[in-house]
Chain A
Amino acid sequence: MADTKAQDALVSIPALLARNARVFGDKPAFREKEYGIWQSWTWAEAAEETRALALGFLELGVAPGDHVAIIGTNRPALYWSMVAAQMCGAIPVPLYQDAVAEEMAYVLDHCGARFIVAEDQEQVDKVLEIADRVGHIEHIIYQDRRGMRKYDHTRMNALEDVQKTGRAAHDRFDGEVQARMDALGYDDTCVMLYTSGTTGRPKGVVLSNRNIIEASKSSSEFDDLGPGDEILAYLPMAWVGDFIFSVGQAYWTGFCVNCPEGANTMQEDLREIAPTYFFAPPRYFEGLLTQIMIRMEDAGPLKKKMFDHFMAHARKVGPNLMDGKPVGLWDRLKYALGDVLVYGPLRNRAGMSKVRVGYTAGEAIGPEIFEFYRSLGINLKQLYGQTEASVFITQQPDGEVRADTVGVPSPGVEVKIAESGEVFYRSPGTFVEYYKNPDSTKDTKDPEGWVATGDAGFFEEGTGHLRIIDRAKDVGKMADGALFAPKYVENKLKFYPNILESVVFGADREMCCAFINIDLTAVGNWAERNNISYASYQELAGHKQVLDAVQSHVEEVNISLASDTMLAGCQVHRFLVLHKELDADDGELTRTRKVRRRIIEEKYGDLINALYDGSKSISTVTEVTYEDGRKGSISATLEIRDAKVAPVAQKVAAE
């Protein structure tokens, strides 16, 4: 960057902070909304705050190699805590703030944290609850004083007080802090992040300074991020993405990190800040679109008409305009008018009027949803990544954005597809190891540095874009040897608002069949508008017109699958609409709402048999668990429908 002399020494986050304080001293580094006002800190101020905290940590006895756990929502002081820990030679370990005490106990015990930085009383209470079991916790530092007055403070401090002590001890410890900072090397650990782990215990992913800084550097260059950019830090601090965006890239490029007032003010704060660089998971964009649509339904007829008219135009030319493809003058003028009347106000409502680079990842996003934002002129792109890669594996470059791919390999990343279809990668961002878990490390990363992602995918011919199909372990073969990728089909079904969840079966069978869960909000709304009365979820789910609607969705999905030679075998031949919602309380979904295939197969064996033996209907009794833990059962007779299957296209249809 600007300062070439210091370039060589930029091998740690504290070094980047020192550089920023020097080069961007007066530029805002952090903002936080508190008491209704955006408070801001320049890079020079942030450096001073962080340094004071590091001095305070030293006074408390933080030693090189210690793990310092950070628990809370996105607050500047918590980001400083992470960097302050690094200044002391310690390793920050951010934890999910919504983790229950049990989960927290495992992680704290595993990393052996002696020091905890907690946001508030709620987090402190959780830590105290498990402190006896974990044993090695020596000191808790909390940020928010509220409600903390009566606690026993022999092993507890307010973060501000730690900074105060640090400032007072400046002359005593500053040399030591500087020495520890200078000793930080490129291959020393930068941060340890626990993966949420859908299977088994969470694993501590060790990422070095090299991993974080190289990944931040090349991804910042990829999207031309600079000191003028703004982001909103609202995703969990324990997630690798937040660490890369709010620490890695922010410290590398010197852009400003804005922390919202609270989780429920995020939308409002987003609008006030209008970030230039924005990340959100697909469900965020889905939710926002639903909100916009509901509002438009309630709007006056003129507004509604204007919205429909201009959105149709935007869908036609918006994506082309963004990709720089030729668009006629008349269409351009009409788009410009639409921009003033509709698109601009909508972007502003969504807090995205200044978004230059927007990303979504983590799950498949519905093509309509994706196109909606792009047609509004928001440069929403997709990326594919994981904790072990310091986020980036593939990204979509500007101008090559599509809903069904995850882009080309990120700069410096090599990607290969194994024979099984599993995606492997190797990059400077590739993690060092799983903490205290050499077996898992060996299973995931081979000696040459290739890491197994656990996802199956393929490179599209012609464009070189990667397409992810499913988790590798879920991808199977059908009886005739065709590829079976249930999640790919399920996602396609779930893109319909009426369908909340679906489970597709077909491994080692001659055809695919599916369970469908209707979305009570969407279908209930539809029923209300069409004067269809129903007394229960079960009744609505079994309604003939609902079944007709679902059938048409399934058939549309079949047509779209038929155009894809690799996945044409996964067309859904028969389906039924379940009489109850799949629920985490019944163990059918994980807490993050992922389908637990094996449990569903066991529990609904009779229904699966009926799908395959050609019956027209099936009576069943299902056990349910109520929220208070009591159990009950519901019985139902479900209709099984046949869906039309489309003929497989011989040649790949043009996109």
Chain B
Amino acid sequence: MNEVPIEAFTTEDGRQIGGVLMEMRHITLRFGGVTAIQDISFDIREGEVRAIIGPNGAGKSSMLNVINGFYHPQEGEIWFRGEKRPTMKPYDVAKQGIARTFQNIALFKGMSTLDNIMTGRNTMMKAGLFSQALWWGKAEQEEMWHREQVEKVIDFLEIQHIRKTPVGKLPYGLQKRVELGRALAAEPKLLLLDEPMAGMNVEEKEDMSRFILDVNDEFGTTIALIEHDMGVVMDISDRVVVMDYGKKIGDGTPDEVRNNPDVIDAYLGVAHD
């Protein structure tokens, strides 16, 4: 598709879009005889909101799982910050500064909002097991520092009132927000959101869109998101990758994608056989 200029530029609304942060080169992922992703290449640039869209079963979540290190593609290379990434475990990927949320909320239901978000900082806790068990010395100082960062996330997402509520009791929209909070607590370079707006009503969608844009704007976090709701995607993303049946059928700005005949076919349902 379109060749995107490599040098940094400023968007219309004044955000800085930098160079390439992550690049997927000719990724192919198979499960036995099923090809979930077929020879897909695209890049994610620093500071942008990048969306991956497509009909059900297009391979969007698989793609997110590849970025996340949960699936390992049979072919292709992943380049992160200018280096080819070796095959990695998800927790190593997390340590590199890639955080994510899940399509079906994956929080600890019995734990409070605060504790759930605190788990997002797990990869940054350095104190040893012994020190943590006694909550003494380094562990104490460390926890205070982490708590402060978590409180900033809570303030940012405006969820002070549910700080101590077990997340299982919260309505769906708020649980989604807590999950975003946990991902944010990891201070990610790249934030992966798997259908952040699924199952929400219009107001909740608007709130979530606002928070996603605010995260991008205030912290300069790069965001890659999967979403079904075309309206939302077109409104908040800088560039969009469109997938269908494991293949990339479009890539570009929302306007370009919207006018792409292949994309229109995929969404309006031209017979595939």
Q: Do A and B come from one complex?
A: yes
Does the CB pair A36–B217 fall under 8 Å?
no
Contact call B214/A147, Cβ cutoff below 8 A? yes
Closest to B156 in A: A146
Contacts of B214 in A (CB 8 A): 146-147
Q: Choose among B13, B147, B161, B218 the residue that contacts A265 (Cβ–Cβ < 8 A).
A: B161
Interface pair A34/B155, CB less than 8 Å apart: yes
A33 to chain B: closest residue by CB: B160
Cβ–Cβ < 8 Å partners of A34 in chain B? 155
Q: A150-B13, A150-B14 are in contact. Are A36 and B160 (CB under 8 A)?
A: yes
B152 contacts the other chain (Cβ, under 8 Å)? yes
Give per-residue flags for A2-41: 1 if the beta carbon is below 8 A from chain B beta carbons, else 0.
Answer: 0000000000000000000000000000000011110000
**Residue ID in chain B nearest A264 by CB atoms:** B161
Q: Does B163 contact A (CB under 8 A)?
A: yes
The residue in chain B whose Cβ has the minimal distance to the Cβ of A262 is: B160
In the bound assembly, the distance between CA atoms of A265 and B14 in angstroms comes to 35
| Chain B residue nearest in CB terms to A150 | B14
A606: CB under 8 A from chain B? no
Does B52 interact with chain A (Cβ within 8 Å)?
A: no
Q: Inside 8 A of A35's CB, which chain B residues have their CB?
A: 148, 151-152, 154-155
Structural contact, A268 and B13, CB atoms closer than 8 A: no
Report if A261-B14 is in contact (Cβ < 8 Å); known contacts: A35-B151, A147-B214, A149-B217. Answer: no
Are B217 and A265 touching (Cβ within 8 A)?
no
Interface of B is mostly: helix
Q: How far is the CA of A63 from the CA of B114 in the complex (A)?
A: 47
Q: How far is the CB of B161 from chain A (nearest CB, A)?
A: 4
User: Are A36 and B161 in touch, CB under 8 angstroms?
Assistant: no
The docked-state distance in angstroms from the alpha carbon of A362 to that of B164 is 33
With both beta carbons as reference points, the residue of chain A lying nearest to B150 in the complex is identified as A36
The tally of CB-CB contacts under 8 A between chains A and B is 35
Q: Whole-angstrom distance from the CB of B185 to the nearest CB of chain A?
A: 14
Contact with B along A122-156 (1 / 0, CB 8 A): 00000000000000000000000011011000000
Q: Among residues 220 to 262 in chain A, which have CB atoms less than 8 Å away from a CB atom of chain B?
A: 261-262
Q: How far is the CA of A148 from the CA of B217 in the complex (A)?
A: 11
Q: List B contacts of A264 (CB < 8 A).
A: 160-161
Instruction: Report B234-246 CB contacts with A as 1/0, cut-off 8 Å.
Output: 0000000000000
Bound form: Cα–Cα A271–B206 in Å: 33
Q: A36 and B14: CB pair below 8 A?
A: no
B163 contacts which chain A residues (CB < 8 A)? 36
* Chain A contact residues, majority secondary structure: loop
| A262-B161, A265-B160 known; A36 vs B218 contact (CB < 8 Å) | no
In the complex, A376 Cα to B155 Cα: how many Å? 36
**Cα separation A91 to B36 with both chains bound (whole Å):** 68
Bound together, the chains give a CA A200 to CA B155 distance in angstroms of 39
For chain A residues 561-600, which have a beta carbon within 8 Å of chain B?
A: none
- Closest CB in chain A relative to B116 CB, distance in Å: 15
B residues within 8 A CB of A36? 114, 147, 151, 154, 160, 163
Count of chain A residues near B, Cβ 8 A: 13
Q: With A34-B155, A150-B14 in contact, do A261 and B160 touch (Cβ < 8 Å)? A: yes
Q: Nearest A residue to B154 by beta-carbon distance? A: A36
Inter-chain contacts of B218 with A (CB < 8 A): 146-147, 149
Closest to B158 in A: A262
Contact with B along A619-643 (1 / 0, CB 8 A): 0000000000000000000000000
- How distant is the Cα of A149 from the Cα of B156 in the complex, in angstroms? 15
Rounded to whole angstroms, the CA-CA distance of A37 and B151 in the bound complex is 9
The CA of A605 and the CA of B158, in the complex, are separated in Å by 48
Instruction: List A contacts of B13 (CB < 8 A).
Output: 150
Q: Which residues of B contact A265 (CB under 8 A)?
A: 160-161
Compute how far the CA of A99 lies from the CA of B148 in the bound complex, rounded to whole angstroms: 33
Chain B minimum-CB-distance residue to A260: B160
* Chain B residue at minimal CB-CB distance from A147: B214
Cα-based distance from A147 to B214 in the complex (angstroms): 7
Shortest C-beta distance, A537 to chain B (Å), equals 22
Chain A nearest CB: distance from B164 CB in Å? 8
With contacts A149-B217, A150-B13 known, is A268 near B155, CB below 8 A? no
- List chain A residues, Cβ under 8 A from B161: 261-262, 264-265, 268
Question: Which B127-162 residues have a C-beta within 8 angstroms of A?
Answer: 147-148, 151-152, 154-156, 158, 160-161
User: B215 CB to closest chain A CB, in angstroms?
Assistant: 12
- Distance in Å from the Cβ of B31 to the closest Cβ of chain A? 43
Chain B residue, CB-CB nearest to A265: B161
Nearest-CB residue, chain A, relative to B13: A150
Nearest CB in chain B: distance from A260 CB, A: 9
Question: What is the 8 Å Cβ interface bit string for chain B, positions 152-185, against chain A (1 contact, 0 not)?
Answer: 1011101011011000000000000000000000
> Which A residues between 37 and 80 are near B, CB-CB below 8 angstroms?
37
Task: Tell me how far the C-beta of A294 lies from the nearest C-beta in chain B, rounded to whole angstroms.
Answer: 16
B178 to chain A, nearest CB (A): 15
Question: Inside 8 A of B155's CB, which chain A residues have their CB?
Answer: 34-35
Output the least CB separation between A273 and chain B (Å): 15
A556–B163 CA distance with the chains assembled, in angstroms: 45
Per-position 1/0 for B1-29, Cβ under 8 A of A: 00000000000011000000000000000
Q: Which residues in A have their C-beta under 8 angstroms from that of B154?
A: 35-36
Give the chain A neighbours of B14 by CB distance below 8 A.
150
- Could you give, for residues 518-534 of chain A, a 1 whenever the CB lies within 8 Å of some chain B CB and a 0 otherwise? 00000000000000000
Residues of B within 8 A of A146 (CB): 156, 214, 218
- Output the least CB separation between A535 and chain B (Å): 24
In the bound complex, residues from chain A placing their C-beta under 8 Å from that of B148 are 35
What's the nearest-Cβ distance from chain A to residue B9, in Å? 17
What separation, in Å, do the CA atoms of A146 and B151 have in the docked complex? Answer: 15
What's the nearest-Cβ distance from chain B to residue A272, in Å?
11
CA distance A261 to B155 in the complex (A): 9
User: Which residues of chain B are near A268, meaning CB under 8 Å?
Assistant: 161, 164
Most buried by A among B114, B160, B163: B160
Residues of A within 8 A of B156 (CB): 146
Q: Which residue of A lies closest to B14 (CB)?
A: A150
Question: Using Cβ atoms and an 8 Å threshold, which residues of chain A touch B114?
Answer: 36
List B contacts of A261 (CB < 8 A): 160-161
Q: Tell me the bound Cα distance from A188 to B6 in angstroms.
A: 65
The distance in angstroms between the C-alpha atoms of A195 and B150, with both chains bound, is 41
Chain B: minimal CB distance from A124 (Å): 15
How far is A265 from B114 in the complex, measured between Cα atoms in Å?
15
Smallest beta-carbon distance B206→chain A, Å? 14
Residues in B neighbouring A150, C-beta threshold 8 A: 13-14, 217
Contact flags A89-123 to B (C-beta < 8 A → 1, else 0):
00000000000000000000000000000000000
A265 vs B158: C-alpha distance when bound (angstroms):
11
B15 and chain A: residue at smallest CB distance: A150
* A37 / chain B contacts, CB cutoff of 8 Å: 151
**Distance in Å: Cβ of B120 to nearest Cβ of chain A:** 16
Return chain A residues, CB-CB under 8 Å to B158. 262
Q: When each residue 411-430 of chain A gets 1 if its CB lies under 8 Å from chain B and 0 otherwise, what string results?
A: 00000000000000000000
The CA-CA distance from A185 to B20 in the complex, in Å, is 65
Task: Tell me the smallest distance from the CB of B79 to a CB of chain A, in Å.
Answer: 31
The CA of A150 and the CA of B13, in the complex, are separated in Å by 8
- A262 and B154 CA atoms in complex are apart in Å by 12
Tell me the smallest distance from the CB of B144 to a CB of chain A, in Å: 11
Min Cβ gap B24→A in Å is: 31
B152: A residues at CB distance < 8 A: 35
Whole-angstrom distance between the alpha carbons of A146 and B218 in the complex? 8
Instruction: Enumerate 19 A-B pairs (CB-CB under 8 Å) in ascending A order.
Output: A35-B148, A35-B151, A36-B114, A36-B147, A36-B151, A37-B151, A146-B156, A146-B214, A147-B214, A149-B217, A149-B218, A150-B13, A150-B14, A261-B161, A262-B158, A265-B160, A265-B161, A268-B161, A268-B164
Q: List A residues at the B interface (Cβ < 8 Å).
A: 34-37, 146-147, 149-150, 261-262, 264-265, 268
Residues of chain B touching chain A, judged by Cβ–Cβ distance below 8 Å, are 13-14, 114, 147-148, 151-152, 154-156, 158, 160-161, 163-164, 214, 217-218
Chain A to chain B: the 6 pairs with minimum beta-carbon distance, closest first: A35-B151, A264-B161, A265-B161, A36-B151, A261-B160, A265-B160
Q: A35-B155, A36-B114, A36-B160 are in contact. List 7 more A-B contacts (CB 8 A).
A: A146-B218, A150-B13, A150-B14, A261-B160, A262-B158, A262-B161, A268-B164
